Chain A
Amino acid sequence: MHTEATPAQADVSELDLVQKCQAGDTEAFDQLVSRYRTRVFGMIYNMVHNEQDAWDLAQDSFLKAWKSIGRFRGQSSFYTWMYRIVTNVTIDWLRKKQVKGSGAEFDDAIQMKDIDPASRTVPKADALPHQRMEQGEVRARIDEAIAQLSPEHRAVILMKEIEEMQYHEIAESLGCSIGTVMSRLFYARKKLQGLLRDLYENV
Chain B
Amino acid sequence: MKTFEEKWTAWIDGELSGAELAEFEAALPDRAAAEAEKGNAHKLGAFLKENMPARAMGNEEFFHHQLRQGIAADARTAAPEESAAARPAFWPIGRLVWVGATSLAIFCVCAFFVMREKAPTDQSQYLTQILNARVDPALGPNATISMFELKEDKVTVLWTEGLQSLPSEYATK
Task: Please encode chain A, from 51 to 66, with 1 for each CB lying within 8 Å of some chain B CB and 0 for all others.
Answer: 1001100110011001
Give the size of the chain A interface in residues (CB under 8 angstroms).
Answer: 50
Q: State whether A138 and B51 are in contact (beta carbons under 8 Å apart), knowing that A58-B63, A182-B6, A183-B5 are contacts in the complex.
A: yes
Task: Please encode chain B, from 1 to 23, with 1 for each CB lying within 8 Å of some chain A CB and 0 for all others.
Answer: 01101101110110100000000
Give the size of the chain B interface in residues (CB under 8 angstroms).
Answer: 38
Min C-beta distance of A66 to chain B, whole Å: 6
Alpha-carbon distance between A187 and B12 when the two chains are bound, in angstroms: 13
B43 adjacent to chain A (CB < 8 Å): yes
Docked-complex contact A30 and B57, CB < 8 angstroms: no
Alpha-carbon distance between A203 and B48 when the two chains are bound, in angstroms: 12
B41 adjacent to chain A (CB < 8 Å): yes
A39 adjacent to chain B (CB < 8 Å): yes
Alpha-carbon distance between A166 and B5 when the two chains are bound, in angstroms: 17
Question: Which B residues are closer than 8 A to A by beta carbons?
Answer: 2-3, 5-6, 8-10, 12-13, 15, 40-41, 43-60, 63-64, 66-68, 70-71, 74
Question: Which A residues are closer than 8 A to B by beta carbons?
Answer: 26, 29-30, 33-34, 37-39, 41-42, 45-46, 51, 54-55, 58-59, 62-63, 66-67, 120-121, 123-124, 135, 138-139, 142, 157-158, 160-162, 167, 179, 182-183, 185-187, 189, 192-193, 196-197, 199-201, 203
